[in-house]
């Protein structure tokens, strides 16, 4: 199933040039499996035509509280009762002020006011000029809306249509979508702080060459996203990968195993869960050359001595906090064969309660995977699925074990 299957979203547009992004957001919501009902203010119609939004949503757009299509003339009631969530994107400074004061002089604001607060969340994506965004009135309004239970998203930074540069741009459609998907995920890790390592490490031989592996980091990044969706604060220590940071996740970029060891040591004391997904290089070159190692046409190979890298997972799992149960540790094993035996042996060797195994060559760089969960009772297979789906299953399993303990 898609992330928003069986969800009905009311997408509201208030006035602003960012309405062009609402078209892409509507398309993304439909692609994610949602049905979308668009409601536009009169001002929004100056920037985007209802015809465009109708074509993208496959539904007639509502623009007036006096819409004669509603037999009871109560579009604000009918539309809000059908929704699983109302998303206002863009939300102008004026529209946010309306929400704050409970004003309802158009269909969109009336619908937001009339929605059943306990079951229909309201998400607003602000969009405005940088001076309007930083104005004390806007900041007060935003703070009060949050206090009232409205999900006020942050804003982007960059060039604005007026020619100025700064905060106030509406988030990109994919960012809003990610936040909306997260809203519907069970908050099984609320109150937890999860530390995740992801990707490979790179061990330099000289200034231009090094030793690494084929890990893409996608599984670790998916786990970081799933943990954040589940309500946890998340710190992601990432090796050298080219992946976007999941929304709401604090990212620390590292390069070598020693860098990763240091970053983990600096962040692990704040964590209650440690998931060591990274494929850390087992060895590094003892003496890194200061200049590129050149071939000399002698046919002789360069003489490289190796030393073993620190075992980050074992260090953490043997720490007093892990031993006392204050820190729950999960290890990963990427094997090429005989997965169950190797994963079972690694779990015992590392001293972790849960070890997650996979066949590395079958998943490196791909968006899907299959996992094997190994603990002291035995093993459990998570069948082949997208890495995000598997990450959510793993997070739910970790939450279950934390609750049981």
**CATH code, 252:** 3.40.50.10300
* 162 annotated active-site: yes
Average pLDDT over residues 174-197: 97
**Could you give the CA distance from residue 196 to residue 227 in angstroms, rounded to a whole number?**
9
pLDDT band at 362 (very low <50, low <70, confident <90, very high): confident
Instruction: Answer with the one of 136, 151, 184 that is the final residue of a domain.
Output: 184
**Could you give the CA distance from residue 111 to residue 85 in angstroms, rounded to a whole number?**
12
Name the residue range of residue 130's domain.
Answer: 8-184
Residue 167, in any domain of the structure: yes
For the entire predicted model, the pTM comes to: 0.92
Longest distance between any two alpha carbons in the chain, whole Å:
91
Average pLDDT over residues 214-220: 95
Torsion of CA 346, 351, 352, 357, to 10 degrees: 0
**Could you give the CA distance from residue 259 to residue 239 in angstroms, rounded to a whole number?**
9
Bond into 90 cis (ω within 30): yes
Q: Are residues 176 and 248 in the same domain?
A: no
What are the distances in angstroms from CA 308 to CA 201, 302, 311, 315, 318? 13, 19, 9, 14, 19
Residue 140, in any domain of the structure: yes
CB 355 within 8 Å of CB 362: no
- DSSP string covering 21-42, please? HHHHHHHHHHHTT-EEEEEE-T
Q: Are residues 262 and 319 in the same domain?
A: yes
Q: Are residues 50 and 88 in the same domain?
A: yes
Q: Are residues 151 and 223 in the same domain?
A: no
What pLDDT is stored for residue 310 in this prediction?
Answer: 96
Q: Are residues 268 and 396 in the same domain?
A: yes
Question: What is the number of residues in the chain?
Answer: 405
Q: Are residues 145 and 198 in the same domain?
A: no
Instruction: Answer with the one of 184, 203, 225 that is the final residue of a domain.
Output: 184
Q: Are residues 353 and 241 in the same domain?
A: yes
Q: In sequence order, what are the beta bridge partners of 38? A: 11
Which of 19, 26, 112, 162 is catalytic? The answer is 162
What pLDDT is stored for residue 230 in this prediction?
Answer: 98
The mean of the pLDDT values for the chain is 94
Residue 125, in any domain of the structure: yes
Instruction: Answer with the one of 152, 184, 216 that is the final residue of a domain.
Output: 184
What pLDDT is stored for residue 1 in this prediction?
Answer: 62
Q: Are residues 175 and 203 in the same domain?
A: no
Residue 1, in any domain of the structure: no
Q: Examine the pLDDT at 390 and tell me if it is beyond 90.
A: yes
**Could you give the CA distance from residue 235 to residue 273 in angstroms, rounded to a whole number?**
10
Residue pointed to by tokens 């993304």: 28
| Closest C-alpha among 118, 182, 185 to residue 399 | 185
Residue 2, in any domain of the structure: no
Q: Examine the pLDDT at 186 and tell me if it is beyond 80.
A: yes
**Could you give the CA distance from residue 212 to residue 364 in angstroms, rounded to a whole number?**
13
Q: Examine the pLDDT at 73 and tell me if it is beyond 80.
A: no
**Could you give the CA distance from residue 374 to residue 331 in angstroms, rounded to a whole number?**
10
Residue 4 makes CB contacts below 8 A (sequence gap 6+) with 29, 32, 33, 34, 180, 181, 184
Residue 3, in any domain of the structure: no
Q: Examine the pLDDT at 334 and tell me if it is beyond 90.
A: no
Taking the alpha carbons at both ends of the chain, their separation in whole angstroms is 32
CB 182 within 8 Å of CB 204: no
CATH number assigned to the domain comprising residue 96:
3.40.50.1950
pLDDT band at 298 (very low <50, low <70, confident <90, very high): confident
Write out the H or E segment, with its range, that includes residue 44. Answer: none
Task: Spell out a b/e string for 365-404, using b for 16 or more CB atoms within 10 Å of the CB, else e.
Answer: eeeebbbbbbeeeeeeebeeeebbbbbbbbbbbbbeeeee
Residue 32, in any domain of the structure: yes
Q: Examine the pLDDT at 184 and tell me if it is beyond 70.
A: yes
Q: Are residues 155 and 198 in the same domain?
A: no
Q: Are residues 159 and 286 in the same domain?
A: no
Residue 29, in any domain of the structure: yes
- State percent of the chain over pLDDT 70: 100
Least confident of 80-89, 193-202, 255-264, 363-372: 363-372
Q: Are residues 224 and 145 in the same domain?
A: no
What pLDDT is stored for residue 353 in this prediction?
Answer: 96
Q: Are residues 301 and 348 in the same domain?
A: yes
Counting the structural domains of the chain, the total is: 2
Condensed to tens digits (0 to 9), the pLDDT of residues 126-174 reads 999 999 999 999 999 999 999 999 999 999 988 888 888 889 999 999 9
Strand 203-204 and strand 210-211: the pairing is antiparallel
SS (H, E, C) 92-147: CHHHHHHHHHCCCCCHHHHHHHHCCCCCCCEEEEECCCHHHHHCHHHHHHHHHHHH
């Amino acid at each position: 199933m898609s992330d928003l299957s069986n969800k009905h979203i009311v997408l509201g547009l208030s006035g602003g040039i960012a309405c062009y992004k609402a078209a892409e957001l509507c398309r993304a919501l439909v692609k994610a499996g949602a049905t979308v009902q668009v409601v536009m203010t009169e001002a929004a119609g100056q920037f985007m035509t209802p015809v465009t939004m109708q074509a993208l949503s496959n539904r007639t757009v509502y623009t007036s509280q006096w819409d004669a299509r509603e037999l009871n003339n109560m579009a604000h009631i009918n539309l809000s009762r059908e929704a699983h969530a109302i998303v206002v994107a863009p939300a102008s400074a004026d529209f946010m002020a309306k929400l704050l004061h409970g004003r309802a002089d158009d269909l969109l604001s009336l619908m937001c006011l009339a929605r059943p607060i306990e079951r229909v969340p309201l998400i607003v994506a602000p969009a405005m000029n940088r001076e309007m965004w930083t104005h004390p009135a806007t900041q007060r309004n935003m703070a009060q809306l949050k206090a009232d239970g409205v999900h006020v998203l942050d804003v982007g930074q960059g060039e604005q249509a007026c020619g100025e540069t700064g905060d106030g741009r509406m988030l990109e459609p994919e960012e809003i979508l990610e936040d909306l998907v997260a809203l519907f995920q069970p908050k099984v890790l609320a109150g937890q702080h999860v530390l995740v390592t992801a990707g490979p490490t790179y061990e330099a031989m000289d200034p231009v060459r090094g030793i690494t592996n084929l890990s893409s980091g996608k599984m670790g990044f998916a786990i970081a996203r799933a943990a954040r969706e589940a309500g946890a604060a998340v710190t992601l220590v990432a090796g050298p990968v080219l992946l976007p940071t999941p929304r709401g996740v604090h990212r620390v970029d590292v390069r070598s195993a020693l860098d990763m060891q240091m970053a983990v040591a600096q962040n692990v004391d704040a964590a209650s869960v440690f998931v060591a997904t990274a494929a850390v290089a087992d060895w590094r070159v003892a003496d890194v050359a200061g200049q590129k190692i050149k071939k000399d046409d002698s046919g002789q190979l360069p003489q490289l001595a190796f030393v073993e890298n620190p075992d980050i997972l074992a260090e953490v799992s043997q720490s007093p906090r892990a031993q006392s149960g204050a820190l729950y540790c999960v290890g990963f094993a990427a094997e090429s064969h005989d997965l169950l035996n190797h994963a079972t042996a690694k779990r015992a060797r590392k001293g972790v309660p849960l070890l997650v195994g996979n066949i590395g060559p079958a998943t490196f760089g791909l968006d899907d995977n299959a996992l094997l969960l190994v603990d002291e009772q035995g093993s459990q297979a998570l069948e082949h699925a997208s890495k995000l789906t598997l990450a959510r299953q793993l997070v739910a399993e970790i939450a279950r074990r934390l609750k049981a303990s």
